[in-house]
């Protein structure tokens, strides 16, 4: 989160960023609470000093009447102190909640825009495939291949659930292993992470209070189902000081993710693009502030490399101010072409959150044994989500007979070059 000191010293920059995001947050109210807080802290400190002086005077007093007068004065100071401390505690709760609701300050490079329709395409890589037939969407391909079972998924769990079977389930697993292996070869350390997290972890990562409505929660215990591996990765070093020489720390994990998807009627209602339970291979980095932009470029390059190895046409999109997420200073999306839907589909979102989450999670590092502590920068990016990449592979590699060619990079994992319809 942004600290009170940062907001005071950079008020106009924070205002400009809020305006660019289209946020209606009342910064003046927060600044007023901050002024009240600091004034009340001074009053509390003065009353504590007064109480200490009175208590010391009582201890030194020898005359009985004087002692009684001093005791009364000390009690009066103590009562005033108790009242002011209660006022301060209430005000601090209000002020700290206000701080938690302020989004990160946008990077100067972020273009202004109201929403995703004004994101900026930076580059398109690869040729969009042409077909001698009408390409089919993945939901038709999947059912014809006997590999995506929507009916049974809905019967088990309701809308936006599905079952993968046979070669498509294997292809999904192959994509997970491929993404993990390639990132590990690039220097990331694999982690196995919890899929259930406490509310404290969600607050530290910036998911609460902003995204409460998108989270699945255990109502009997303090647990939330993880919406993304970014959350446990943020909390991996919560309340710790990372020793000198350990940064950058580059991590990767495959995790299930759970989100309440709230969409406009008719949007992404078919297929497996937008569902409540999905998988991701997530990249995460802790680095020194001076290396932050270079690390951002590195994460982008890793996601791009995976798509290029899979032979999928994609484009790089810079998110505009109205579409950048709450925690991020800037974000690039990578989008794969979806022939069956005649549209681009996001498969990776790479964000530089700078020290925003490090402040929330109280994570620090040292540059030397006796050096003062600083907050690291933290970055995250999908590398990649197998479900959406499965869509990209199926639709871009489809054949007229309904079979799907397996990208060369995945053949060692799958042991096949083509996925055929049943009975072929």
User: Which residues are identified as catalytic?
Assistant: 259, 274, 346, 349, 388
Exposure class string for 306-336: b at 16+ Cβ within 10 A, else e: bbeebbbbbbbbbbbbbbbbbbbbbbbbbbb
Residue written as token pair 């990208």: 407
Q: Rounded to 5 degrees, what are φ and ψ at 347?
A: -125, -10
Helices 166-185, 292-309: axis angle to 10 degrees equals: 140
For residues 252, 256, 260 and 265, what is the CA-based torsion angle, rounded to 10 degrees?
Answer: 90
Please give the structure tokens belonging to residue 33.
Answer: 């609470």
Q: How many helices (H) and strands (E) does the chain have?
A: 13, 17
Residues with Cβ < 8 Å from 376, sequence gap 6 or more? 242, 247, 286, 287, 288, 289, 355, 358, 363, 364, 365
Give the Cα separation of 211 and 164 in Å (integer): 29
Query: Distance between CA 394 and CA 404 in Å, rounded?
Result: 6
Q: Which residue has the tokens 């609460």?
A: 208
DSSP designation for 170: H
d(CA 187, CA 249): 10
Measured in degrees and rounded to the nearest 5, phi and psi for residue 317 equal -125, 130
**Torsion (CA) 90, 91, 93, 94 in degrees, nearest 10:** 120
């Amino acid at each position: 989160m942004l600290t009170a000191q940062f907001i005071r010293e950079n008020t106009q920059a924070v205002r400009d960023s809020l305006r660019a995001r289209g946020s209606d947050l009342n910064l003046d109210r927060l600044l007023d609470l901050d002024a009240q807080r600091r004034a009340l802290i001074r009053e509390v400190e003065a009353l504590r000093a007064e109480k200490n002086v009175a208590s010391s005077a009582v201890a030194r007093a020898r005359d009985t009447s004087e002692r009684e007068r001093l005791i009364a004065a000390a009690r009066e100071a103590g009562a005033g102190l108790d009242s002011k401390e209660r006022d301060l505690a209430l005000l601090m709760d209000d002020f700290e909640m206000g701080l938690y609701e302020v989004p990160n300050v946008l990077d100067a490079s972020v273009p202004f825009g109201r929403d995703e329709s004004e994101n900026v395409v930076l580059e398109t890589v690869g040729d969009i495939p042409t077909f001698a037939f009408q390409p089919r969407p993945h939901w038709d391909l999947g059912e014809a291949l006997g590999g995506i079972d929507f009916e049974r998924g809905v019967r088990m769990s309701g809308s936006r659930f599905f079952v993968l079977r046979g070669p498509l389930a294997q292809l999904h697993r192959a994509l997970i292993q491929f993404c993990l292996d390639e990132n590990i070869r690039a220097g990331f350390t694999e982690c196995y992470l919890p899929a259930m997290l406490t509310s404290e972890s969600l607050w530290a990562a910036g998911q609460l209070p902003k995204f409460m409505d998108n989270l699945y929660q255990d109502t009997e215990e303090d647990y939330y189902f993880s919406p993304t591996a970014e959350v446990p990765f943020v909390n991996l070093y919560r309340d710790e000081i990372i020793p000198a020489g350990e940064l950058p720390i580059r991590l990767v994990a495959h995790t299930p993710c759970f989100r309440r998807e709230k969409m406009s009627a008719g949007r992404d209602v078919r297929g497996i693009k937008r569902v409540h339970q999905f998988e991701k291979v997530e990249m995460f980095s802790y680095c020194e502030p001076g290396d932050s932009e270079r690390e951002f470029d590195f994460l982008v390059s890793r996601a791009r490399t995976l798509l290029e190895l899979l032979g999928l046409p994609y484009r790089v999109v810079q998110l505009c101010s109205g579409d950048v997420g709450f925690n991020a200073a800037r974000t690039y999306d990578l989008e794969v072409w979806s022939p069956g839907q005649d549209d681009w589909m996001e498969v990776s979102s790479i964000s530089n959150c700078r020290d925003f989450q490090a402040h929330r999670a109280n994570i620090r590092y040292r540059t030397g044994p006796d050096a003062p502590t600083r907050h690291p920068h933290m970055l995250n990016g999908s590398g990649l989500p197998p479900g959406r990449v499965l869509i990209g592979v199926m639709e871009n590699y489809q054949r007229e007979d309904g079979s799907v060619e397996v990208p060369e990079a995945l053949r060692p994992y799958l042991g096949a070059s083509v996925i055929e319809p049943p009975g072929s």
